[in-house]
C-alpha cells in the first residue's frame, strides 16, 4: 500500500507439489521488486497490465509453458474512489455493491489467458470501476468452489455466493468467517484436494 493507493493480488499456480511451489517462489520474487520500487517512489508506479507483463516473463522463464498461473490484480485509489483491475484466467472476484440494505455482486473478469502460457501473450485488458463507501471486494481460489463432501459433490460457486451475500452487511471479516464455517459443514471433514485461499475487504 502507498499513501492513497492499495494493490491487491491473488494467484494460483496449476498443478501441485514442488514444481508449482518453485514457480510460486519465482512469482513472489518478481512481486517483491514491485513492492520495493513502490516504496521508493511513494506510489504504485505500475499498472495492472504492466505487472502482469513482467510476471508473465518471470513465470514463462521459470516453467517454459509447462506450469501456468492464474492471476488477478487490482489497484484501489482511495482518493479517486476507483478500482482498476486485470484478470488473467483467475476465478473472477466479486465487487459487492451496496444498494439500500442489499449487496449485489459484480464479477471482475477481463477475459485474459493464464500467465506463462507463451512468452509474447497479449495481456488482459484493464477495467476501471467506480467505488462507493462500504463496497466489499471478495477474492478466492478454485480450491474453494471445487472442494467436495464425502459423496463427491462440489461446494460450488452458488453456495459461496449465497453465504457471501448473507454475511456482507457485517463486513469483510464476517464474510470470510461465514464462508469457512459453511464450507466446513458442507465438507464434513473430507480431505482437501487443493488449497483454499479467500480474502474479503470492506472499502471505507
CA proximity to 12, closest of 136, 196, 138, 184: 196
What band does 8 get if pLDDT is binned at 50, 70 and 90?
very high
- What does each C-alpha distance from 180 to 36, 85, 197, 200 come to in angstroms? 33, 26, 10, 12
Mean pLDDT of all residues in 26-41: 91
CB 60 within 8 A of CB 119: yes
Q: What are the tens digits of pLDDT across the range 108-163?
A: 998 889 999 999 999 999 999 999 999 999 999 999 999 999 999 999 999 999 99
Q: Give the pLDDT of residue 2.
A: 62
Which three cell numbers, joined as nine digits, stand for 128? 476501471
Higher pLDDT, 167 or 17: 167
* pTM of this structure: 0.93
Amino acid at each position: 500500500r502507498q499513501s492513497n493507493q492499495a494493490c491487491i493480488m491473488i494467484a494460483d499456480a496449476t498443478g501441485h507439489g514442488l514444481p508449482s511451489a518453485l514457480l510460486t517462489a519465482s512469482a513472489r520474487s518478481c512481486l517483491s521488486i514491485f513492492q520495493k520500487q513502490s516504496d521508493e517512489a511513494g506510489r504504485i508506479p505500475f499498472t495492472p497490465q504492466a505487472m502482469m507483463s513482467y510476471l508473465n516473463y518471470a513465470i514463462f522463464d521459470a516453467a517454459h509453458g509447462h506450469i501456468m498461473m492464474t492471476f488477478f490484480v487490482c489497484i484501489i485509489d482511495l482518493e479517486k474512489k476507483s478500482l482498476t483491475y486485470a484478470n488473467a484466467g483467475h476465478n473472477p472476484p466479486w465487487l459487492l455493491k451496496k444498494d439500500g440494505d442489499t449487496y449485489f455482486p459484480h464479477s471482475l473478469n477481463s477475459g485474459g489467458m493464464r500467465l506463462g502460457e507463451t512468452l509474447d501473450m497479449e495481456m488482459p485488458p484493464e477495467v476501471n470501476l467506480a467505488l462507493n463507501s462500504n463496497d466489499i471486494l471478495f477474492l478466492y481460489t478454485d480450491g474453494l468452489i471445487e472442494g467436495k463432501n464425502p459423496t463427491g459433490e462440489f461446494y460450488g460457486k452458488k453456495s459461496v455466493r449465497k453465504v457471501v451475500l448473507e454475511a456482507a452487511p457485517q463486513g469483510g471479516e464476517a464474510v470470510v468467517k461465514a464462508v469457512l464455517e459453511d464450507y466446513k459443514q458442507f465438507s464434513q471433514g473430507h480431505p482437501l484436494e487443493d488449497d483454499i485461499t479467500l480474502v474479503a475487504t470492506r472499502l471505507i
